[in-house]
């Protein structure tokens, strides 16, 4: 079975390893991804950075290319059992249900068995290593209802309830009624994990779903999502087990932990020291690193402050308000080019001085007149950081990139990559990817660091690992 993940930013692979992450989605690139031996294929759609209409268009284009790629693989006797997951943020910030609606419209009848499309969509936002759990249909962050956290006040994806059924009604503008959302609770999942009878009962319950009903999934422990995955694999197999009739077709909107339930991965080959040891080296030893911090959530602010107390780090701040005025003014390209050159020289001076440059945006959110203006500013800032990092990349041993939009721009624009290979997690939820041998800068480790993850000292801890100080890293 192949699980294809449409990731709305580059950080959703934060619980898995050994799989490709595609930054392009033409049919040929998708076919190479489908042929990879991993049961997982990530397509980094980066739709969270887009306006709804643009996100709709991108997901539709990916689905059409994917349908073509799968058909070509199936014509050659491969890829007959595959699932699709819309991976969204574990703090509920996403284009839901828009992306699932597009996938259902484009791929609902792609396999040809059932013209009615998907039987159900499972909503499973749990990210267990990051403290995101769902109990009795209520989604929580470290035990706190997620709607009471700063993430619920996001300027673009804010919401007012932690109850997934109520959240779905809110996000759909009332189209999905809270009362229509089915709930898959912990008791049923624990029973399925505990005995064959419980597994069969769960299969029977899922087999009865139809009409693409939305199902809110509880999860507190990995075994619960593993029980869901075992039932899904049995019910969706091309030759469905006796007693279930036709293979079922399910769609998923979930966070990272769902993927560990759907596939059974072997242990991660490299532990933290091995991943840090992938740092590039030159003639005189290990090459220096670079840290990018584009995320502006309060947790990112705290992590940046702690990191900058390290004497081995040197800050270079990009003044967001000034850049916003410049971008709206006359001749922005010429003025920005002059500033870029000055910032590039400052970064270079840090490297020459033997310190790690920490390139970050100024803290706080700048007022924008509209969501479209805010997105344009975010894209411009990410592209600027990506260009600066890309110009330094041949001299670097590693990059730590905090923030989804920042990381996507770094990989696709700054490093001009088609795909990267996921090596594993340096720390819980922090994935390290490696640029391929044919890249402009081959073998460059990039630590993809979500904006909403960790404690105040986690960014410093990651930097210490990459700098080869595991004892200091262990101290946080």
> What is the CATH number for 83?
3.40.50.10840
Q: Using CA atoms, how far apart are residues 30 and 368, in angstroms rounded to an integer?
A: 37
**Is 334 a residue whose pLDDT tops 80?**
no
Q: Using CA atoms, how far apart are residues 425 and 449, in angstroms rounded to an integer?
A: 10
pLDDT higher at 457 or 322? 457
Residues 253, 207, single domain; the answer is yes
pLDDT higher at 155 or 385? 385
- Low-confidence winner among 324-328, 340-344, 430-434 (lowest mean pLDDT): 324-328
Given this model, what pLDDT does residue 471 score?
A: 56
Residues 244, 288, single domain; the answer is no
Residues 388, 413, single domain; the answer is yes
Given this model, what pLDDT does residue 470 score?
A: 62
Question: Alpha-carbon torsion 146, 150, 153, 157, what sign?
Answer: negative
Is residue 267, in this structure, part of any structural domain at all?
no
Residues 308, 248, single domain; the answer is no
Is residue 333, in this structure, part of any structural domain at all?
yes
Given this model, what pLDDT does residue 331 score?
A: 67
Residues 157, 374 contacting (CB under 8 angstroms): no
Is residue 325, in this structure, part of any structural domain at all?
yes
Domain end position, chosen among 237, 262, 287: 262
Residues 225, 314, single domain; the answer is no
pLDDT in tens, 213-261: 999 999 999 999 999 999 999 999 987 556 788 899 999 999 999 999 9
Residues 247, 297, single domain; the answer is no
Residues 346, 364, single domain; the answer is yes
Take residue 438 and report the two structure tokens written for it.
């044919």
pLDDT in tens, 196-219: 999 999 999 999 999 999 999 999
Confidence of residue 114 (pLDDT cuts 50, 70, 90): very low
Is residue 236, in this structure, part of any structural domain at all?
yes
Is residue 337, in this structure, part of any structural domain at all?
yes
How confident is the prediction for the chain on average, in pLDDT?
Answer: 92
Q: Using CA atoms, how far apart are residues 429 and 414, in angstroms rounded to an integer?
A: 23
Residues 252, 377, single domain; the answer is no
Distances (CA, A) of 116 to 113, 203, 264, 321: 9, 21, 30, 50
Which of 73, 82, 78 shows the shortest CA–CA distance to 5?
82
Given this model, what pLDDT does residue 39 score?
A: 97
Confidence of residue 413 (pLDDT cuts 50, 70, 90): very high
Take residue 320 and report the two structure tokens written for it.
């967001």
Given this model, what pLDDT does residue 245 score?
A: 83
Distances (CA, A) of 415 to 359, 418, 440: 16, 9, 7
Task: Report the number of distinct structural domains present in the chain.
Answer: 2
What average pLDDT does the segment 381-394 reach? 95
Phi-psi region of 298 (alpha: psi -120 to 50; beta: other; left: phi over 0): alpha
Given this model, what pLDDT does residue 86 score?
A: 98
> What is the CATH number for 444?
3.40.980.20
Confidence of residue 44 (pLDDT cuts 50, 70, 90): very high
- Write the DSSP assignment of 303-321 as a string of letters: HHHHHTTSTTEEEEEE-HH
Residues 147, 295, single domain; the answer is no
pLDDT in tens, 128-139: 999 999 999 999
Given this model, what pLDDT does residue 472 score?
A: 54
Give the predicted TM-score (pTM) of the model: 0.91
Is residue 286, in this structure, part of any structural domain at all?
yes
Given this model, what pLDDT does residue 60 score?
A: 98
Is residue 189, in this structure, part of any structural domain at all?
yes
Given this model, what pLDDT does residue 241 score?
A: 57
Is residue 440, in this structure, part of any structural domain at all?
yes
Given this model, what pLDDT does residue 112 score?
A: 40
Residues 280, 245, single domain; the answer is no
Q: In terms of DSSP H, where are the helices of 149-218? A: 164-171, 186-194, 196-207
Residues 294, 211, single domain; the answer is no
Domain end position, chosen among 262, 290, 314: 262
Residues 340, 203, single domain; the answer is no
Confidence of residue 113 (pLDDT cuts 50, 70, 90): very low
What average pLDDT does the segment 421-446 reach? 96
pLDDT higher at 174 or 377? 174
pLDDT in tens, 292-319: 999 878 899 999 999 999 999 999 999 8
Range of the domain at 358: 272-474
What average pLDDT does the segment 389-407 reach? 95
CB count in 10 Å sphere of residue 468 = 14
Domain end position, chosen among 262, 288, 305: 262
Which of 370, 457, 452, 386 shows the shortest CA–CA distance to 89?
452
**Is 8 a residue whose pLDDT tops 90?**
yes
pLDDT in tens, 26-39: 999 999 999 999 99
């Amino acid at each position: 079975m192949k699980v294809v993940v449409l990731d709305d930013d580059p950080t959703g692979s934060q619980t898995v390893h050994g799989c490709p992450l595609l930054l392009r989605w033409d049919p040929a690139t998708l076919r190479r991804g489908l042929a990879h031996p991993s049961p997982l294929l990530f397509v980094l759609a980066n739709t969270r950075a887009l306006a709804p209409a643009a996100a709709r268009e991108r997901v539709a284009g990916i689905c059409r290319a994917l349908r073509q790629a799968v058909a070509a693989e199936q014509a050659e006797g491969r890829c007959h059992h595959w699932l699709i997951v819309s991976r969204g943020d574990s703090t509920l910030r996403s284009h839901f249900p828009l992306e699932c609606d597009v996938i259902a419209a484009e791929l609902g009848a792609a396999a040809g068995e059932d013209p009615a499309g998907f039987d159900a969509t499972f909503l499973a936002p749990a990210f267990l290593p990051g403290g995101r759990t769902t109990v009795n249909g209520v989604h929580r962050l470290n035990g706190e209802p997620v709607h009471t956290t700063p993430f619920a006040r996001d300027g673009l994806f804010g919401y007012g309830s932690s109850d997934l059924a109520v959240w779905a009604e809110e996000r759909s503008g009332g189209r999905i009624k809270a009362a229509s959302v089915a709930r898959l609770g912990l008791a049923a999942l624990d029973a399925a994990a505990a005995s064959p009878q419980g597994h069969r009962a769960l299969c029977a319950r899922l087999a009865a779903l139809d009409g693409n009903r939305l199902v809110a999934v509880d999860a507190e422990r990995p075994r619960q999502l593993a029980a869901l995955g075992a039932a899904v694999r049995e019910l969706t197999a091309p030759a469905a087990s006796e007693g279930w009739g036709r293979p079922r077709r399910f769609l998923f909107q979930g966070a990272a932990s769902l993927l560990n339930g759907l596939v059974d991965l072997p242990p991660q080959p490299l532990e933290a020291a091995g991943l840090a040891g992938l740092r590039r080296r030159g003639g005189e030893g290990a090459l220096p690193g670079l840290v990018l911090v584009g995320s502006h959530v309060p947790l990112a602010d705290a992590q940046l402050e702690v990191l900058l107390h390290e004497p081995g780090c040197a800050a270079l701040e990009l003044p967001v308000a000034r850049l916003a005025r410049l971008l709206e003014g006359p001749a922005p390209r010429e003025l920005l080019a002059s500033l870029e050159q000055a910032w590039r020289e400052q970064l270079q001076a840090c490297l020459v001085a033997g310190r790690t440059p920490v390139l970050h945006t100024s803290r706080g959110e700048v007022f924008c007149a509209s969501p479209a203006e805010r997105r344009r500013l975010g894209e411009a800032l990410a592209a600027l950081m990506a260009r600066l990092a890309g110009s330094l990349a041949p001299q670097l041993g590693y990059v730590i990139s905090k923030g989804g939009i920042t990381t996507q721009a770094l990989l696709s624009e700054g490093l001009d990559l088609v795909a990267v290979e996921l090596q594993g997690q340096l720390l819980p939820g922090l994935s390290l990817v490696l640029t391929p041998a044919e890249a402009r800068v081959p073998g460059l480790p990039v630590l993809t660091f979500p904006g909403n993850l960790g404690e105040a000292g986690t960014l410093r801890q990651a930097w210490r690992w990459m700098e080869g100080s595991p004892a200091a890293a262990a101290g946080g």
